[in-house]
Amino acid sequence: MYSKTVIDRFQNPRNAGGMHGANAIGEVGNAACGDIMKMYLKIDDNGVIENAKFKTFGCCAAIASTDMACDLIKGKTIDEALKVTNKQVLDLLGELPPHKIHCSILAEESIKAAIQNYYERKEKELKKSVKKPINYV
């Protein structure tokens, strides 16, 4: 049985959809159930998450978990967002059946995957901006 919050978040997700201008996109999946989560973040120059959206191809617990995870990380710094756990998501959702706990873990992993993608993009930008040294030989 699902809590009222899970059902509400599943039926009326606040953060569903893609995002124009996202500078971090993370995708994770669960091989066992085949569900996929995609997290979109807009992170400002100070490392604060301005906005978070998601697309989840999965069960109602996965959709509710990702939606709640988006709310949890909005306004947080990258470091704070990395500390968000599936347990926090579960506490806000009002628990999930034991066989659906992995759905909340997927939400936690999608945050981490998006932040990893953010750093990968930053590294690419940095490499592009570094000019090659002149060889005077």
Catalytic residues: 33, 103
Site string for ligand FES, 48-77 (x = CB under 6 A): ----------xx-xx---------------
41 part of the interface to ligand FES, by CB under 6 A: no
Are 28 and 109 spatial neighbours (Cβ–Cβ below 8 Å)? yes
Nearer CB in complex with ligand FES: 61/115 = 61
Cα–Cα distance, 52 to 111 (Å, whole number): 9
Rounded to whole angstroms, the Cα distance separating 128 from 88 reads 38
Which 90-109 positions form the footprint of ligand FES (CB under 6 A)? 100, 102-103, 106
Label residue 37 left, alpha or beta by phi (over 0 means left) and psi (-120 to 50 means alpha): beta
Residue with the shortest CB distance to ligand FES = 33
